Chain A
């Protein structure tokens, strides 16, 4: 049995990254989530955080703002919005995002407020 699985990261503009990986760590909405080959079928949403793709020679880290994943038949699909190299990730970048969400927070209704607050919280965790 192969110890790798196929993954595909797509953004609205293009296929951002695809290939084979040993492990992908994703910031799931309910907590971080490590996907290994032959993981059970799962669909989940993502919170703002870091995606780590590990294959034989290297580990790549990417920042994701929101998205969804589907794992089935040893294939991982990540639908992402706001995908960026981790290198772009600094405090200014994150603070900008937090500010954007904060301004949206005032206009939102109760149900949305909670979601937005959650996003702000997970963004704050990325600050260093």
Chain B
């Protein structure tokens, strides 16, 4: 049985851990609000962009077989997977869940004989998969110095990847990130961005939209400029969603940790009081039986 002193020390250490987790929860909550706001305010842009692209692409078929970001060029041998994770830990299952969906994808791609390349945005995802897939990771984007992702950050990443695409370093590209739904729920999402995966179920809305458009300059010129922009926006969206999800995940993880700590403190305190009472009772018995013996 641990001595009373040991118990006291343990209670103290659990208490200080609880202080840390509580503080982290508060910080995450504050950051979450900001991240959530910027994620939500960027949604109209990507929605407008999707709307625009579907208006153009509904009546468009590429005239040449050139490589483009909209339809790809029917090749399907090298897949580029971009993984968005956090730079810091202590956020529950945030990183492992999204990494798991990446792993499943890699396994299924490899089974069908495709080649896989990986870009990791955020260090934690890299840490998880590096042992298994070190040779496939072509780049790790360090976001540690970035407080909240800006459009420029997204553009830097996107420009590099677009260049790789036109250098024929990959044929298809998907992003893996946590989509922010609520504080307690983040959905690991896989989205194919090259070629663009236009949702089929929107046929009702696109039908109304199938009206004739004038294009100035031509459709293909507009697409030439629009598609890289769209690619950048998708990356930007993933960065923002992932940042908001990270704070949400951390907040609920730290909330759980604080609650566990207070349960632990309760149990330990009860045990401590019982042991103390036992010691007192034992001493009393000794004194009484000593007095009776006299």
Q: Which of A64-89 contact B (CB under 8 A)?
A: 66, 68, 70, 72, 77, 79, 81
Known: A30-B217, A79-B48. A41 touches B211 (CB 8 A): yes
Known: A45-B226, A72-B211. A12 touches B45 (CB 8 A): yes
Residue B51 interfacial (CB < 8 Å): yes
By DSSP majority rule, is chain A's interface helix, strand, loop, or mixed?
strand
The answer to whether B209 and A45 have CB atoms under 8 Å apart is: no
Which residues of the other chain, A, contact B216 by a CB distance below 8 angstroms? Answer: 28-30, 33, 42-45
Please give me the residue from chain B that is nearest to A70 by CB atom.
Answer: B52
Q: Which of A29-47 contact B (CB under 8 A)?
A: 29-30, 33, 40-45
The answer to whether B52 and A77 have CB atoms under 8 Å apart is: yes
Bound-state CA distance A89–B274 (Å) is: 75
Interface centre among A8, A30, A81 (most CB of B within 10 A): A81
Residue B2 interfacial (CB < 8 Å): no
Please give me the residue from chain A that is nearest to B216 by CB atom.
Answer: A44
Residue A14 interfacial (CB < 8 Å): yes
Which residues of the other chain, A, contact B38 by a CB distance below 8 angstroms? Answer: 13
The answer to whether B45 and A44 have CB atoms under 8 Å apart is: no
Which residues of the other chain, B, contact A66 by a CB distance below 8 angstroms? Answer: 225
Please give me the residue from chain A that is nearest to B212 by CB atom.
Answer: A41
How many A residues, CB 8 Å from partner?
A: 25
CB distance from B55 to the nearest CB of A (A): 6
Task: Kindly supply a per-residue 1/0 record for chain B positions 193-220, scoring 1 wherever the CB is within 8 Å of any chain A CB and 0 otherwise.
Answer: 0000000000000000101111111000
Residue B221 interfacial (CB < 8 Å): yes
Residue B98 interfacial (CB < 8 Å): no
The answer to whether B213 and A41 have CB atoms under 8 Å apart is: yes
Please give me the residue from chain B that is nearest to A12 by CB atom.
Answer: B151
A12 touches which of B56, B212, B233 (Cβ 8 Å): B233
The answer to whether A45 and B222 have CB atoms under 8 Å apart is: yes
Known: A43-B56, A70-B51. A12 touches B236 (CB 8 A): yes
Please give me the residue from chain A that is nearest to B56 by CB atom.
Answer: A43
The answer to whether A77 and B222 have CB atoms under 8 Å apart is: no
The answer to whether A77 and B51 have CB atoms under 8 Å apart is: yes
Bound-state CA distance A70–B55 (Å) is: 9
Residue A25 interfacial (CB < 8 Å): no
Bound-state CA distance A13–B55 (Å) is: 23
Residue A10 interfacial (CB < 8 Å): yes
Residue A15 interfacial (CB < 8 Å): yes
Residue B7 interfacial (CB < 8 Å): no
The answer to whether A68 and B52 have CB atoms under 8 Å apart is: yes
CB distance from B37 to the nearest CB of A (A): 9
The answer to whether A12 and B214 have CB atoms under 8 Å apart is: no
Bound-state CA distance A28–B211 (Å) is: 21
The answer to whether B45 and A10 have CB atoms under 8 Å apart is: yes
The answer to whether B209 and A72 have CB atoms under 8 Å apart is: yes
Which residues of the other chain, B, contact A10 by a CB distance below 8 angstroms? Answer: 44-45, 48
Which residues of the other chain, A, contact B45 by a CB distance below 8 angstroms? Answer: 10-14, 79
Bound-state CA distance A108–B113 (Å) is: 35
Bound-state CA distance A11–B232 (Å) is: 13
The answer to whether A14 and B49 have CB atoms under 8 Å apart is: no
Residue B96 interfacial (CB < 8 Å): no
Which residues of the other chain, A, contact B229 by a CB distance below 8 angstroms? Answer: 68, 79, 81
Bound-state CA distance A115–B214 (Å) is: 22
What are some 5 contacts across the A-B interface (CB < 8 A)?
A12-B42, A45-B216, A66-B225, A79-B45, A79-B49
Apart from A44-B222, A70-B213, A79-B229, what 5 extra A-B contacts exist at CB < 8 Å?
A14-B42, A41-B213, A43-B214, A79-B45, A81-B229
